[in-house]
Structure 1
Amino acid sequence: MGRATKVVLAYSGGVDTTVCIPYLKEEWGVEEVITLAADLGQGEELKPIQEKALKSGASQSLVEDATERFLTDYAFPAIQANALYENRYPLSTALARPLIAQLLVEAAEKYGADAVAHGCTGKGNDQVRFDVSIAALNPNIKVLVPAREWNMSREETIAYGERFGIPSPVKKSSPYSIDRNILGRSIEAGPLEDPWTEPPEEIYLMTRAIANTPDEPEYVEIGFTKGIPTTLNGNMLSPIDLISQLNEIVGRHGVGRIDLMENRLVGIKSREIYETPALLVLVDAHRDLESLTLTKDVTQYKRGIEQTYSELVYNGLWYSPLKSALDAFIQQTQEQVSGTIRVKLFKGQAKIVGRKSENSLYTPDLATYGAEDKFDHKAAEGFIYVWGLPTRIWSKKLRGEA
């Protein structure tokens, strides 16, 4: 691994990343630890976290507001790709990891650090996402992962921190492991580790229980420009305002909860609960708009691209040659994906009930069965003859008639 003198540590303010500060200095001989907390719209006041890092031995405690960058550079491209891992999870947490990795590498360069560090354990997905992303951005920088090597239980970790003046949590910690950003929340561990256990209502924060949702439906109109959400109910909004307002509207109607058995990259299954109100609706709306504005062959071919894209992001390969190649394909397809989708929200459901676009490929006078029908019905006979010719030849051969 080699000795590092100055390290930039990805910092959340939790027990593990806080104990990483003295551990790096005492056990691994690091002279200076700079912490970096990324503000991705998680709704927390980060000043106490900043102060906690300094009290725990950090020489500098950085807070980087990267919420808009998170949306424009990571979330919106994923929406254009209709990215759903295993066709269900919209990657709300996974998308943050390559950005945090980039922030670490940028900070290391700015402050002259020869290593970066994070507090991931050895059985999660995030360690892979951080390590591989950092290596792609700077293959020469060291990556230190203390929690993967110190073999301490949570109680031992707390006790180690107390030796260096880090107070133990003052209250009994929640049994759940929760991660949050502007796109949503992920909840795991505790009672949720039993796949048979119904998630208790207390774990949800962004979405209402169905019993507490409005008794009248609400309609929302989402406008896209080249595949990127830009308007809400006709109002042009900044990325942060659009996502924040849509989260509130959609969550009020109980939409956006996901409960799934997820196949982790490291080979184990885990039970995951997600709340991603706006993101789920945006992916669904975007896919619907594509069905109106893209040709059949592009739409159908793109579905396979989307699956590969989702797996690459989940598996920590945001910065990879294949991902870059898929980005180019996806961006080309989005040139005509502009228009408006109308969504009906009611009692835990979000249904698309209308769509319109100046780039619509829908032709009413060809699709109608009314008097305005301009489709040449006689042309169908010759088309069917040629289309079905291989099948007829095959059938005759099978019957011994050819």
Structure 2
Amino acid sequence: MRGYFHKYHVFSNIFSILAYLLSSFINSTAARMNLSYSIIGAINFVGATSYVVGSLSFGHIGDKFGHKKFIFISTIIFSIFIIISLQFSGIVFLFFLAIVSNLFFGSFYPQIEGLIAKSESSLKIDHSKITMRFNLSWSSGNILGMAFGPFLTVKTPYLIFWYGILLNLISSFIIWRDYNKNGDKIHFIPARKLINEKLIIDFPNIRKYRRAYRLTLFFSGLLYTSILSLFPKVISLSGISLSFTGFIIVFANIAVFFVFIVLGKINIWAGRPKISFLFLLVLPITSVLMFLKMTPVLFVILSFLGGMCYAIPYTFAIFYGLSSQENDQGKQGGFHEATIGMLFGFGPLIGGFFLDIFQNMYGLGIMGIILSIIVTVIQIKFIKSLNL
């Protein structure tokens, strides 16, 4: 849509497709190998640790070195590592692929976030519309990657890797040409509707907002990442073909996309922590439903609600995280992505531990109840600290 999205939203979208194709390939392959929940969790944990390292080590570099130059170099390197990864097999292959892919995406997304936030802020685009449009770009890509990842893993896995290699090489060429033409800015003429109301941001307390919502995102998102990584095996053990599990789990990504649209249109939560807290009650509701008897329909519902457990605090965290008066969006994007990396690591690890102990969905339900208590304590302490 001309005037509303630009080429870097497209890059966010198509690289998100790749990220979830690779993630679902790893988890679906692990399920086909009949690895335990704990081993699947360990693979995801190691990969997510790599994501955190990439975010914290390289996220801020683009602020000084240049976001486009960093993306150009990293895409070429990643295409080479995808080719190298094909030389491995078995569990070693899954660990190597998890480490390399997460290291790339952990450094890639802070650059995209920083580039978009800086360029669009200079164009006077409303901050809430900057974050909403970015969120829609990557979350729509996640839907396709998650839906078709398990299916392609079973049927034609080589297509996933060819997509990754070609995507990185073609993107590096386009970005380098764009850098030579426009420098480290995005050439974009925004529609008038993007330059509207300015939401009031409590900058004196911005660090409190960032800390509270990043912590909330971490703990609430643990349930979501457990669903994404462990549901392929959980659902396949219920009798549903592994190749079709992605079409159930994808409802988590559909929920993420849906939440971003709704919270982007309805800004009643912005600057209002008490109202924001009400949205977060989806976590205990999801946790309680996990104690019911599992059916295909309930798997769909849990996937959808699990996506909401992630998307709601994500919206709050990135909104306040990229709200900056210090021109450090790349740095803040690195902290944000590090939070994402940690929850994608600890979620499968902790979820796998609870599933192995209880041998059914009760394990994830108990885990969800514990997380709900933690999130409630964080929010109450945060609201009290603001004297609201």
Query: Greater helix share, 1 or 2?
Result: 2
The structure with the larger Rg is 1
Query: Greater strand share, 1 or 2?
Result: 1
Q: With structure 2 as the length reference, what TM-score do the two structures score?
A: 0.29
